[in-house]
Structure 1
Amino acid sequence: MTPPNYHNVHNKFKLNGFHLNEDDLCRVAYSFIKEGEDFEKHVGDFLLDWFNEKPYLEILTSGTTGEPKIIKVEKQSMVNSAIATGNFFDLSPGNTALNCLPVKYIAGKMMFVRAFILGLDMDFIAPKSSPLQRNDKKYDFVAMVPLQAENSLLQINQIKKLIVGGVRMSTSLINKLKKSKCDVYETYSMTETVTHIAAKKIGEKAFTVFPNIEISQDDRHCLVITSENLNVNKIVTNDVVEMVSDNQFIWLGRQDNIINSGGIKLIPEQIENKLSTKLKGRFFVAGVADDTLGEKLVLFIEGDQYTLDSNIFDDLDKYEKPKEVKFIANFPETETGKVKRTEIVASIS
């Protein structure tokens, strides 16, 4: 069956309770741009760009591993991605959804595209850290970043299916979410692949890729992604993975974060996972230049200095134990809330 064109707006689509077609959405866009708040202006710009004659959008990447940059993403690829999401999560026309993500970036834009194409009844709100505060409505499908999920634990049962992405969830948050009735999934995504291309239910080890996605590894054991549907031809990532099957992988960490300490290769994300139930607040481990080891493992903790419990490193292997602990008052972040590890490490080197 031929997928819908990107100008198609499903007749079941609703925005904040109102049925809107293409013309209606363009009028809303002009109103947002002229009179809306900052987060609404981004929506207005997106809507006008979506319904113009160009077959692509120019989208800002999140800047996780470098400076944010503009890339071109085909609108039909975004439609195909929306359909894949709908099939994977069994979404139907008329299902309720909440968009609480910034539309400046691909994740927030894609919630709109899913709503247009799949015919979702979507509420759109400001991208705040506690999106369900003073909201008792029930939703079939919601996307959040981990901070939003953490701040919504008391209301999480209002959601039938929740996808969490942007940054990795801590073990502590996963354990809290497991206690809810909500079906929670962690997603694997990037701007270049039109948001997520794989997901796993919390508690599972391996991500399962969506249909029409091909995965492999390069000689660094990093994930390589190909998808004709998404106009993606062998995107080579820096994500170190363990291949489980042709359509499943276990994410281990970032190649550019790997620490070589005295000839021992350490994956920070695996160490952080072991520490996540022992430390409160934000932290990370990284390699810092050392005359003897080449790189020494350092634990960075956000906040005022305090004395760590003596058993905090008990679950770590010999070489995984930090040589030093640094306290940083406030971690600098990207616009999407991701910690700027490289900048922090450079500031103490």
Structure 2
Amino acid sequence: MIPKFDKIHNRFKLNEYHFAQDDLKEVAYSYIKEGLPYEKKVGDFINNWMDDSPLITIQSSGSTGAPKEFHVEKQAMVNSAISTGDFFKLKPGDSALHCLPINFIAGEMMLVRGLILGLELDVVEPKSKIVLTKDYDFAAMTPMQLENSLDTIEHVKILIVGGAPISKELVAKIQHISTRVYMTYGMAETLSHIGLKKLNHTTKKNAPYRTLPKITVSKDDRGCLVINAPRLSQEPIVTNDLVEIYSETEFDWLGRVDNVINSGGIKLLPELMEAKIQDQMDRRFFFASQPDPTLGEKVILVVEGDSNVVEPKVFEALDTYEKPKAIYNIPQFEETSSGKVRREETLTKLLKM
């Protein structure tokens, strides 16, 4: 039987303490009134979760536009939590670490998983480096947090990573650690992740994303992912993510249809081009385009920093038509709170300089 959103699991613990349902409301109120900034947000979410409304307001990350708020069913979030629990075989009493910002869906869903699955949840301040001093069965981090916390990350058995791209260099660093690390695919509209990709402990060089239980995928006539998740949404969720589909439960992400460059009639995916030279770059960058009277659109490279100088050998892995016709630099990229680059806003900022 699927639990209802208004029932807190009797095994749930928050920072090592068990609270009856009414007591938890008092804890939330205490966090709101007297807690640190991140604790106030925890209190706000718990308070809103435990009110009488079947809906709750969440906010998108803003990675593909301005952040927006929308209402979702609490029961759908419960269903998402159960799917993750089933995928990883999490059970009541398992320990979990919450070190993500609470004001976005990834952090909110960590709380819901604790409340519904009966996890013993430790909530800590969401810093860029997390110092782990005890063992956990489950945790979620951003790529930056994982990078900065490698010296103690083996205290975690299962780690999910999302919110921003993960570099090949970081993937190489985690190949021989005991922690099982998974990259997530999802968005606010899918109530956190709907797909998980193994990054280590696998014989496959590039394992595909596998969907959570009861979720299937297909693609539309643009080649973009369509998600069928009846427990999360009554209607199929149509995305702007170009994908390769291997089965109804396995896929690979190729890039955003919004970012496709049509140069001389050849369609180029910036994300795939970026992957080719990622190991050669020592700073953040992305490919974009500019209008061109001959090609229609010409490929440009935007780099972060005080110089636009890039060694020609960096582009040897690119095909001729993929190589940038111009290179621009900008001191600092526009980004989301999780560190994901906001391409369109960065380009707009660049044009104003």
Q: Tell me the TM-score normalised to structure 2 length.
A: 0.94
Find the partner of 1:335 among 334, 337, 340. Answer: 337
Match of 1:262 in 2: 264
Are residue 11 (structure 1) and residue 13 (structure 2) matched?
Answer: no
Q: Distance in 1 between matches of 2:301 and 2:25?
A: 50
Q: Distance in 2 between matches of 1:241 and 1:225?
A: 12
The 5 A counterparts of 1:183-194 are 183-194=180-191
The 5 A counterparts of 1:50-69 are 50-69=49-68
TM-superposed CA distance for 1:142, in Å, is 0.8
Match of 1:223 in 2: 225
Q: Distance in 2 between matches of 1:346 and 1:289?
A: 14
Query: Which letter does structure 1 place at the counterpart of 2:169?
Result: S
Structure 2 counterpart SS, 1:281: coil
CA RMSD of aligned residues (A): 1.4
TM-superposed CA distance for 1:15, in Å, is 1.0
Structure 2 counterpart SS, 1:276: helix
Match of 2:195 in 1: 198
TM-superposed CA distance for 1:232, in Å, is 4.1
TM-superposed CA distance for 1:289, in Å, is 2.2
Match of 2:171 in 1: 174
| Alpha-carbon contact 2:60-2:104 (below 8 Å) kept | yes
- 5+ residue gaps, structure 1, are none
Q: Distance in 2 between matches of 1:103 and 1:30?
A: 16
Q: Distance in 2 between matches of 1:323 and 1:165?
A: 32
The 5 A counterparts of 1:23-172 are 23-132=22-131, 135-172=132-169
Question: How many pairs align?
Answer: 346
Deviation string, structure 1 residues 276-296 (Cα, Å, up to 9, x no partner): 111123211111222322221
Q: Distance in 1 between matches of 2:24 and 2:207?
A: 41
| Alpha-carbon contact 1:225-1:233 (below 8 Å) kept | no
Q: Distance in 1 between matches of 2:296 and 2:348?
A: 15
Structure 1 counterpart SS, 2:316: coil
Find the partner of 1:324 among 319, 323, 326. Answer: 326
TM-superposed CA distance for 1:64, in Å, is 1.2
Q: Distance in 1 between matches of 2:122 and 2:234?
A: 31
Q: Tell me the TM-score normalised to structure 1 length.
A: 0.95
Go from structure 1 to structure 2 and tell me whether the alpha carbon gap of 1:334 and 1:27 turns closer, same or farther (over 3 Å shift).
same
Structure 2 counterpart SS, 1:334: coil
Q: Distance in 1 between matches of 2:244 and 2:300?
A: 26
Q: Distance in 1 between matches of 2:283 and 2:150?
A: 16
The 5 A counterparts of 1:274-293 are 274-293=276-295
Match of 2:202 in 1: none
Structure 2 counterpart SS, 1:338: coil
Deviating above 4 A after TM superposition, structure 1's stretches of 4 or more consecutive aligned residues are none
| Alpha-carbon contact 1:74-1:231 (below 8 Å) kept | no
| Alpha-carbon contact 1:225-1:232 (below 8 Å) kept | no
Go from structure 1 to structure 2 and tell me whether the alpha carbon gap of 1:307 and 1:100 turns closer, same or farther (over 3 Å shift).
same
Q: Distance in 2 between matches of 1:307 and 1:64?
A: 27
Are residue 235 (structure 1) and residue 204 (structure 2) matched?
Answer: no
TM-superposed CA distance for 1:255, in Å, is 0.5
| Alpha-carbon contact 1:303-1:330 (below 8 Å) kept | yes
Structure 1 counterpart SS, 2:114: helix
Q: Distance in 1 between matches of 2:142 and 2:164?
A: 7
Structure 2 counterpart SS, 1:233: coil
Overall identity of the aligned pairs, in % = 50
